[in-house]
């Protein structure tokens, strides 16, 4: 069976500091990978998706970037965090029919 | 590009009453449709999905949804809600021609009142 891991679960960072969130998937090969952000009281915003190693599509211009150095690894980064980057970050994978399977999420608070 | 609308941001309903959460989508091609549930401080869990075939889809926890192609809708229903159904519900769509993106609606917060 497939599992998806995200870490850390919670993160508190000062404004201007860098960020690295990691997501790994087990039990599947060449999945589509996604980063979503959920701000307080708001829906899910698709940030990035990837259909293969090194292939990243950005949905919205912002302070964040994503990389996929390995088939089942997806990293969300920032060089300098903003207050507006606070939120709940969810990694997900899908295969074929687009059904997204979510990780447990990382709650980021930028102070 | 596909998009999803959930017109009701909040739906309060009394326990054991029926509920319908509305979802409409926009796409120029055929789509797959999904409903997800998010309980407080948790990730998202798939409730049900429409891929093809029967337009009435049954999911977990007694929920069902009906795909209406002419109205581009995929409304979620439950005949009798429980307190434990209090959660955020998200409708999502993925285009069949290029299943590289799953787009979510803004969500509907269901509050079940005892």
Report pLDDT digits (tens) over A63-99: 899 999 999 999 999 999 999 999 999 999 987 666 8
How sure is the predictor about B94, in pLDDT bands with cuts at 50, 70 and 90?
Answer: confident
Range B44-69 average pLDDT = 93
- Interface check B90 vs A, CB under 8 A: yes
Assign B84 to helix, strand or coil: helix
Q: Residue B102 and residue A105: Cβ atoms within 8 Å?
A: no
Exposed (0-12), middle (13-18) or buried (19+): which is A1, by Cβ within 10 Å? exposed
The set of residues, in sequence order, having a beta carbon less than 8 Å from that of A14 and lying 6+ positions away, is: A81, A110, A111
According to DSSP, residue B101 is labeled -
Among residues A100, A105, A89, A104, the alpha carbon closest in space to that of A31 is found at A100
- Interface check A42 vs B, CB under 8 A: yes
Write down the mean pLDDT value for chain B: 91
The pLDDT value recorded for residue B61 is 92
How sure is the predictor about B78, in pLDDT bands with cuts at 50, 70 and 90?
Answer: very high
- Interface check B32 vs A, CB under 8 A: yes
The pLDDT value recorded for residue B99 is 56
pLDDT value at A13 more than 90:
yes
According to DSSP, residue B72 is labeled T
- Interface check A36 vs B, CB under 8 A: yes
Q: How many Å lie between the alpha carbon of A87 and the closest alpha carbon of chain B?
A: 12
The pLDDT value recorded for residue A29 is 87
According to DSSP, residue A5 is labeled E
């Amino acid at each position: 069976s497939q599992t998806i891991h995200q870490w850390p679960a919670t993160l508190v960072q000062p404004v201007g500091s860098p960020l690295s969130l990691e997501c790994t998937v087990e039990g599947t090969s060449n999945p589509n990978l996604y980063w979503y952000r959920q701000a307080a009281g708001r829906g899910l915003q698709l940030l990035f998706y990837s259909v293969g190693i090194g292939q990243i599509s950005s949905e919205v211009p912002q302070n964040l970037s994503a990389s996929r150095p390995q088939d089942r690894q997806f990293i969300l980064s920032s060089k300098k965090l903003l207050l507006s980057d606070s939120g709940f970050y969810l990694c997900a994978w899908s295969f074929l029919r687009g059904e997204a399977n979510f990780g447990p999420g990382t709650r980021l608070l930028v102070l | 590009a596909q998009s999803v609308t959930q017109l009701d941001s909040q739906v309060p309903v009394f326990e054991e009453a029926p509920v319908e959460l509305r979802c409409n989508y926009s796409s120029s091609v055929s789509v797959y449709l999904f409903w997800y549930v998010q309980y407080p401080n948790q990730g998202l869990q798939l409730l049900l999905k429409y891929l093809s075939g029967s337009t009435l889809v049954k999911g977990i926890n007694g929920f069902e949804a009906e795909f209406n192609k002419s109205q581009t809708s995929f409304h979620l229903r439950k005949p009798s809600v429980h307190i434990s159904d209090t959660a955020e519900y998200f409708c999502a769509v993925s285009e069949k021609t290029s299943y590289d993106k799953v787009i979510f609606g803004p969500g509907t917060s269901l509050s079940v009142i005892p």
